[in-house]
Amino acid sequence: MLDSDIFGVKDLITGEIGYCCILGAAGEVFGMAVYRGSEGLRVYLKLLSRETGRRDPDFLFIHRCLMADFHDREELDKADRDVIRSLGLKFRGRNAWPQFRSYLPGYFPWYLTESEARFLAIALEQALNVCQRFRHNPSLLDSPRSGAYLVRTAREKEGQLRWQDEWLEPKPLEEKVLSFEPLDEARLARIKNTLSPADQIWEGDFFHVNNPIKEEGRPFYPRLFVWADASSGLLLTQDMNHPDEPITILRESLIRVAEKSGVLPCQIRVRRQEAFELLSPLAASLKIKLVKAGALHAIDEFRRGLSDYFDSMS
């Protein structure tokens, strides 16, 4: 089976569909990934296109899936080995030791919750059914209509669950509406009266840092908000927050940089649509040209240096 041979399993309790893909054809990763819901599927389809990952390094931090894969014994955590030992199970050989992980956007891959373990167990059971049939019928997953996937669903009949195939289209993705606090008009008036326009171009962006932080509970990848001078490459400021916190800090950090430097740039460049929407009212009020750019050279150079630093520490 190839990465593109996708099928679904419907959660008996939540009704959410997990989209499954079998891993191993390339001889690198062996197991199964279950992408949760339409959002998880969207991310996986972008991964299959091979374009998004090359264009956006932050793509590594937005997966929403459950993973069951196989490793060598020394690649497992002590917690994984303890569970295997407590169950009286034994495995031998390379790529024979099972590991189970949960992936959530902005978070470090982590151990399963009870509900995740329950659903992944069901998905694995149904995957056996699909894979055995696929072996004898390679056209099993060929969709009868565009956009539909084979999904294993269950109905209770005479006190027993009866599993069956259905061809279902993913639920439409809900459009995320960005909501922001209104601008502080008094503060903006003070800025316009006291700060001088400057012939400067500033770049603004936010991204996850590939260095997980563990405080309480599940480790997470912090999100860094950065402003830089496009001409000199000078870093103007950086602020960090939790991945669940709002991105409005980008707007506040811009205002603080302007107040500290005593000037207003003539142009601001961002690459993300969320940043563009967030900063548009502020830029309009301060009469700063806001541009959506494909590349942010100063910030990209800073990010490469940051990545090299963390790589050298590992």
Identify the CATH number of the domain in which residue 226 sits. Answer: 3.30.420.10
101 and 207 in a single domain? The answer is no
The predicted structure's pLDDT at residue 52: 52
150 and 190 in a single domain? The answer is no
- Which segments within the chain are labelled E, that is strand? 6-10, 17-23, 31-36, 65-71, 97-103, 149-157, 160-168, 196-208, 223-229, 235-241, 263-270, 289-292
Q: Look at the chain and report how many structural domains it folds into.
A: 2
pLDDT at 294 over 80: yes
- For residue 181, the cross-strand partners are none
For residue 10, tell me if it sits in a domain.
yes
Residues 171-208 as b or e (16 or more Cβ within 10 Å = b): eeeeeeeeeeeeeeeeeeeebeeeeeeeebbbbbbbbb
More confident residue, 268 or 306: 268
For residue 250, tell me if it sits in a domain.
yes
230 and 156 in a single domain? The answer is no
Percent of the chain with pLDDT over 70: 96
Instruction: Tell me the per-residue pLDDT of 109-130, one tens digit each, with 9 for 90 and over.
Output: 999 999 999 999 999 999 999 9
pLDDT, mean of residues 8-29: 93
pLDDT tier at 102 (50, 70, 90 boundaries)?
Answer: very high
248 and 128 in a single domain? The answer is no
159 and 37 in a single domain? The answer is yes
157 and 272 in a single domain? The answer is no
Instruction: State which of 138, 168, 198 marks the end of a domain.
Output: 168
Instruction: Tell me the per-residue pLDDT of 216-268, one tens digit each, with 9 for 90 and over.
Output: 889 999 999 999 999 999 999 999 999 888 888 899 999 999 999 999 999 99
Phi-psi region of 300 (alpha: psi -120 to 50; beta: other; left: phi over 0): alpha
Alpha helices in 137-270 (DSSP H): 185-194, 249-261
13 and 116 in a single domain? The answer is yes
Cα torsion 119, 85, 99, 136: sign:
negative
Question: What's the CA angle centered on 16, arms 10 and 20, to 5 degrees?
Answer: 55
156 and 201 in a single domain? The answer is no
pLDDT tier at 106 (50, 70, 90 boundaries)?
Answer: very high
**Neighbour-count burial of 105, counting CB atoms closer than 10 A to its CB (0-12 exposed, 13-18 middle, 19+ buried):** middle
The predicted structure's pLDDT at residue 293: 94
Region of poorest pLDDT, from 83-92, 107-116, 154-163, 192-201: 154-163
pLDDT, mean of residues 296-312: 87
Order across the sheet with 235-241: list the strands: 235-241, 223-229, 196-208, 263-270, 289-292
Range of the domain at 197: 185-313
**3-state SS, residue 200:** strand
CA distance 224 to 205: 8
